[in-house]
Amino acid sequence: MIAQADGAAAAAGQRPASAAAALRTIGDTGRKALEQMRRLLGVLREDARAPQTDAAFAPQPGTGQLGALVDQVARVGVPAHLSVDGAQRALPATVDVTVYRVAQEALTNVLKHAGTVTRVDVVLRYGRDAVELVVSDDGRGPAAVNGRGHGLFGMRERVDLHDGTLTVGARESGGFAVRAAIPIGRVAE
């Protein structure tokens, strides 16, 4: 939400439509966050008095929601595209949500730090024994680290939990890239 607010503030003067879209995204994201918090509190309370709905037990987002995530970024005015390579298959639940969260954080960083961007590519690759996510942009490259955020650290922690690798940094052709590779077990031939 903070990234969207920063993006809206930056776009307000020159791109009012993008700023308005970012503000709508903030509202949607806030409502979802409150719903998740209420669900968590309901689970933690032994005497949960609030009525539970099917939505309260909805699964965490995963690779199946990457298209919607990329579309959300595109609606804010950043030309983002998703491509999927390899034979799609079900991933372990924790890997599935990790891939989504890494993509979400990488796209948030594009909105916050990349400046003027003409293209953002999100590539999901299913390999024989690993899944790989690459989020790359052609923006201004790495921003100075101000020490206040935990985005890259959080991505690394998530990927490390699965014995995966995370590579982040400037691209030779300009811009920035985040690459996560997570082992998922070998696919039978």
- For residue 182, the enclosing domain spans 60-189
Domain count along the chain: 2
Identity at 51, one-letter amino acid code: P
pTM (whole model) above 0.75: no
Return d(Cα 60, Cα 94) in angstroms, integer. Answer: 9
Residues 86 and 106 in one domain: yes
Residue-wise pLDDT tens for the chain (189 aa)?
A: 777 777 778 778 888 888 788 888 888 887 777 777 766 666 555 444 555 555 556 678 999 999 999 999 999 888 999 999 999 999 999 999 999 999 999 998 888 888 888 899 999 999 999 999 999 999 886 665 554 556 788 899 999 999 999 999 988 888 899 999 999 976 554
CA distances, 78 to each of 114, 144, 172 (Å): 10, 21, 21
Q: What is the CATH number of the domain that holds 74?
A: 3.30.565.10
Q: Are residues 8 and 18 in the same domain?
A: yes
Residues 167 and 119 in one domain: yes
